């Protein structure tokens, strides 16, 4: 996966998490995932379609999800609280929305679908043309994982047009 696709997600996660948690974050491991995706805890799944297609999973282990949601809610929340899941979905929506906005400015056009809670333990294995990159963001509330599997979905002519050639 090209860096031009990844950098907007890193920048968006940095901006959204740092603002929401009122604390700087750092980027931890970045790795390619070759096996089927395994959920870590509370995960939100967002599909994008258009010039770039694929899915992004925003994933927090249960303890981190509770800490993040409690911090954003301004009150201690129990793990069972629906607001914990809602918070993860909305954070995913904000990170991915901001990344997509940036990619759109680069000439890619696509549609973002509403986030859904990802409840199955495993996700689809990436394919030859859809590599999955796992990013870890280290925040004051714990590690936040983002699994990005995207592929280009536009013709070479459109590529050249977008590049102004």
Residues that bind other proteins (CB under 8 A): 15-16, 19-20, 69, 72-74, 82-83, 86-87, 89-90, 93-98, 100-101, 104-105, 109, 112-114
Structure tokens at 68: 């993040």
Q: CB of residue 112 vs other proteins: minimum separation in angstroms? A: 6
What dihedral do alpha carbons 30, 36, 38, 42 form, nearest 10°? Answer: 80
Structure tokens at 39: 């959920």
Q: CB of residue 102 vs other proteins: minimum separation in angstroms? A: 8
Distance between CA 55 and CA 129 in Å, rounded? 13
Sign of the Cα torsion 4, 101, 47, 69 reads positive
Q: CB of residue 48 vs other proteins: minimum separation in angstroms? A: 10
Please, which residue, 113 or 122, has the CB nearer to other proteins? 113
Please, which residue, 54 or 126, has the CB nearer to other proteins? 54
Please, which residue, 20 or 123, has the CB nearer to other proteins? 20
Q: CB of residue 157 vs other proteins: minimum separation in angstroms? A: 21
Please, which residue, 15 or 162, has the CB nearer to other proteins? 15
Find where tokens 């047009």 sit: 161
> Is the distance from CB of 108 to CB of 163 less than 8 angstroms?
no
């Amino acid at each position: 996966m090209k860096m031009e696709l990844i950098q907007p997600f890193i920048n968006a996660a940095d901006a959204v998490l740092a603002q929401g948690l009122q604390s700087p974050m750092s980027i931890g491991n970045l790795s390619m995932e070759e096996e089927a995706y395994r959920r870590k805890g509370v995960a939100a799944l967002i599909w994008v379609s258009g010039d770039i297609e694929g899915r992004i999973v925003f994933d927090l282990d249960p303890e981190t999800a509770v800490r993040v949601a409690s911090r954003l809610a301004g009150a201690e929340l129990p793990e069972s609280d629906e607001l914990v899941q809602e918070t993860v979905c909305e954070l995913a929506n904000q990170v991915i929305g901001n990344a997509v906005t940036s990619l759109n400015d680069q000439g890619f056009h696509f549609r973002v679908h509403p986030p859904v809670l990802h409840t199955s333990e495993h996700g689809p294995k990436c394919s030859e043309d859809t590599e999955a990159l796992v990013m870890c963001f280290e925040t004051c509330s714990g590690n936040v994982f983002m699994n990005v599997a995207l592929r280009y979905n536009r013709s070479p002519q459109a590529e050249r047009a977008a590049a102004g050639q």
